[in-house]
Amino acid sequence: MPVTVECVPNFSEGRRKEVVDKIVFSIRSVPGIKILDVEMDPDHNRSVVTFTGNKETVQEGAFRGARAARELIDLNLHKGQHPRMGALDVLPFVPISGVTLQDCVEIAEKVGSRIAKELKIPVYLYEAAARKPERKNLENVRRGEFEGLREAILKEESRFPDFGLRALHPTAGATAVGARMPLIAFNVNLSTKDISVAKKIAKKIRASSGGLPCVKALGFVLENRGMVQVSTNLTDYTVTSMSKVYEAIEKETEEAGVDIAEGEIIGLIPLDAVCDVASRHLKISSFTSNQVLERRIWG
Amino acid sequence: MPVTVECVPNFSEGRRKEVVDKIVFSIRSVPGIKILDVEMDPDHNRSVVTFTGNKETVQEGAFRGARAARELIDLNLHKGQHPRMGALDVLPFVPISGVTLQDCVEIAEKVGSRIAKELKIPVYLYEAAARKPERKNLENVRRGEFEGLREAILKEESRFPDFGLRALHPTAGATAVGARMPLIAFNVNLSTKDISVAKKIAKKIRASSGGLPCVKALGFVLENRGMVQVSTNLTDYTVTSMSKVYEAIEKETEEAGVDIAEGEIIGLIPLDAVCDVASRHLKISSFTSNQVLERRIWG
């Protein structure tokens, strides 16, 4: 099996295509790196690059991206709707295949340390890589953004970086480096227009109100479809799977007397998450992604 | 997406490892070919090689395997429990990814024609590649085996090959070349020792007694586990999926008042078959293997 680590750097540039192209080119210059996606958002003035590599190449690709962003982006000139504190703003590493979340924490530490040392950019470790509990949440790390953090990092102990100097880089700011599980965006649409049903179910199942662990959930109206939606994010599918979320919603809809119209998966999901659902449906406790033919061929 | 064709040649040698090694080596000598599995069976005196390639490389690999088998195996000296008629006995091509069953029929025709022409081995097209309806079933093609076919091919019109001379190769016999969908071996174990329940359900769901199309099914006793098993083979999961089979069995068990203990998948299954089950379980009509992260990375 190939070791696959995903890296999803967010850069504070979503308008100048030539800048984003140069950054992507620098990442891609590492042999073995595969660029899966580049999304430029002009309103947020931010770009999200998705790439993969093994434990070593992913580190080098991330570092080269950070270095290019430092050369090409000046936060003093940056405006956009999305909160940001660095040219390379956030840098999460995600375990996909043959690698654990803990491995990704170690990768985040190595790359973070190197960015601080060689690029003189202070680094904050966040999510699973956080060394302080409050830094698990990225919002706490980025509070005040580039302009506010520029002052706070100098004197507030709680804002001192995990790696590097206690001063922002003058143009590249600071970078949050972290590790997290793949995020699954899974929605369940209900055959009713009553938004209170979706909101009630979302509240019941989400972790923050005592529901399923590692599940975020909100209720929305789908105007055009005449339905409501329980929209969920699974932050660790190995803790709470899509099956569990679906079954929990199903139970609530039965009590509420409404039907599930359909499920939806937004974006990409890991093979293991799909196999997990299949094994649940077919009651096969022993089924794993090792039995998937393509995994043997491509892996 | 990579084009992936699987090829599963069966060779009439399951005892002399050096012979099987040489055959596998000759297949592997084609750049781009990936050998997934080699199984030698001494009782059947037969080996099954599983390999993959694209539309071109898979043809060249199959041909080189056929050529090596002709050099190394003499059917006049072959004994084993399994029916056989050739040194390379059967050669099925299976669509895995980015390729259709019809593409595999064309591959079978090209390779079959080349084996007949260059190796002087008569070729019968079978399963989806069959040009005569009775040859869809391999048993009809192989009837009488090497010894019987040696006579029949000379004078019985129904036994004339699709490619090549109307005479067996003196040592390599004849080869059946075909195309088929990936086979899925899916079992469902029931919490009862009453074999009549498993047999009744198997009969109800199998195609041959008017049940689900492309499904074979038998009932077995699992002595050690104190259970019975409905053992199924799905010959085209795009016609009847694992979900459909499971749900049909579930319905029957409910009527019979027994529980499903567990499902089992034997061997490897295609990614699309797994995604199909997951999409059914989560009621996501739009979900396909294109949304599987690893497919983007590895493909």
What DSSP line would sit under A19-84, residue for residue?
A: HHHHHHHHHHTSTT-EEEEEEEETTTTEEEEEEEE-TTHHHHHHHHHHHHHHHH--GGG---SS--
Question: pTM of the prediction?
Answer: 0.80
**pLDDT confidence bin for B1, thresholds 50/70/90:** low
The residue to which tokens 């009549």 are assigned: B196
Say if CB A158 and CB A184 are below 8 A apart. no
Enzyme catalytic residues of B: 82
- Answer yes or no: do A293 and B182 touch at CB < 8 A: yes
Torsion sign over Cα B90, B91, B92, B96: positive
Residue in chain A closest to B246 (alpha carbons) equals A282
Say if CB B94 and CB B67 are below 8 A apart. no
Over 80: is that where the pLDDT of B299 sits? no
Region B252-263: mean pLDDT is 97
Q: How far is A2 from chain B (nearest CA, A)?
A: 9
User: Which secondary structure element, helix H or strand E, spans residue B249, and what is its range?
Assistant: helix B242-256
Q: What is the pLDDT of residue B87?
A: 98
pLDDT digits (tens, 9 = 90+) for B265-282: 988 899 999 999 999 999
pLDDT digits (tens, 9 = 90+) for A264-296: 998 889 999 999 999 999 999 888 888 998 888
Which residues of chain A are within 8 Å of residue B270 when distances are taken between CB atoms?
292-294
Region A180-195: mean pLDDT is 95
Q: What is the pLDDT of residue A267?
A: 85
Over 90: is that where the pLDDT of B296 sits? no
Over 90: is that where the pLDDT of B59 sits? yes
- Of B18, B2, B12, B61, nearest to B36 by C-alpha is B61
Residue in chain A closest to B5 (alpha carbons) equals A297
**AA letter at A18:** E
pLDDT digits (tens, 9 = 90+) for B201-254: 999 999 999 999 999 999 999 988 999 999 999 999 999 999 999 999 999 999
Burial environment of residue B260 by CB neighbours within 10 A (0 to 12, 13 to 18, 19 or more): middle
Better pLDDT: A261 or B287: A261
Q: What is the pLDDT of residue B2?
A: 75
Say if CB A92 and CB A5 are below 8 A apart. no
Q: What is the pLDDT of residue B197?
A: 97
- Answer yes or no: do A293 and B283 touch at CB < 8 A: no
Which residues of chain A are within 8 Å of residue B274 when distances are taken between CB atoms?
274-275, 278, 292
- Answer yes or no: do A269 and B299 touch at CB < 8 A: no
**pLDDT confidence bin for B82, thresholds 50/70/90:** confident
Region A27-34: mean pLDDT is 96
Say how far apart CA A256 and CA B45 lie, in whole Å.
Answer: 62
- Of B120, B122, B127, nearest to B85 by C-alpha is B122
ipTM, 2 dp: 0.80
Beta strands in B98-174 (DSSP E): 123-127
Over 80: is that where the pLDDT of A20 sits? yes
Over 70: is that where the pLDDT of A111 sits? yes
Q: What is the dihedral of CA B264, B267, B271, B273, to 10 degrees?
A: -50
Torsion sign over Cα B269, B271, B274, B276: negative
pLDDT digits (tens, 9 = 90+) for A44-91: 899 999 999 999 999 999 999 999 999 999 999 998 878 899 999 999
Region B59-84: mean pLDDT is 94
Half-sphere exposure of A164 (CA within 13 A, CB side): 29
Cβ neighbour number for residue A76 with a 10 Å cutoff: 10
Q: What is the pLDDT of residue A1?
A: 60
- Answer yes or no: do A297 and B52 touch at CB < 8 A: yes
**pLDDT confidence bin for A299, thresholds 50/70/90:** low
Q: From the candidates A188, A262, A282, A288, which should be mutated to test the interface with B, based on the most B CB atoms within 10 A? A: A282
Which residues of chain A are within 8 Å of residue B51 when distances are taken between CB atoms?
none
Q: Label the pairing between strands A4-7 and A46-53.
A: antiparallel
Write the DSSP symbol of residue A207: G
Q: What is the pLDDT of residue B294?
A: 87
Region B162-168: mean pLDDT is 97
The mean pLDDT value of chain A amounts to 95
Residue B128, φ and ψ in degrees, nearest 5: -65, -20
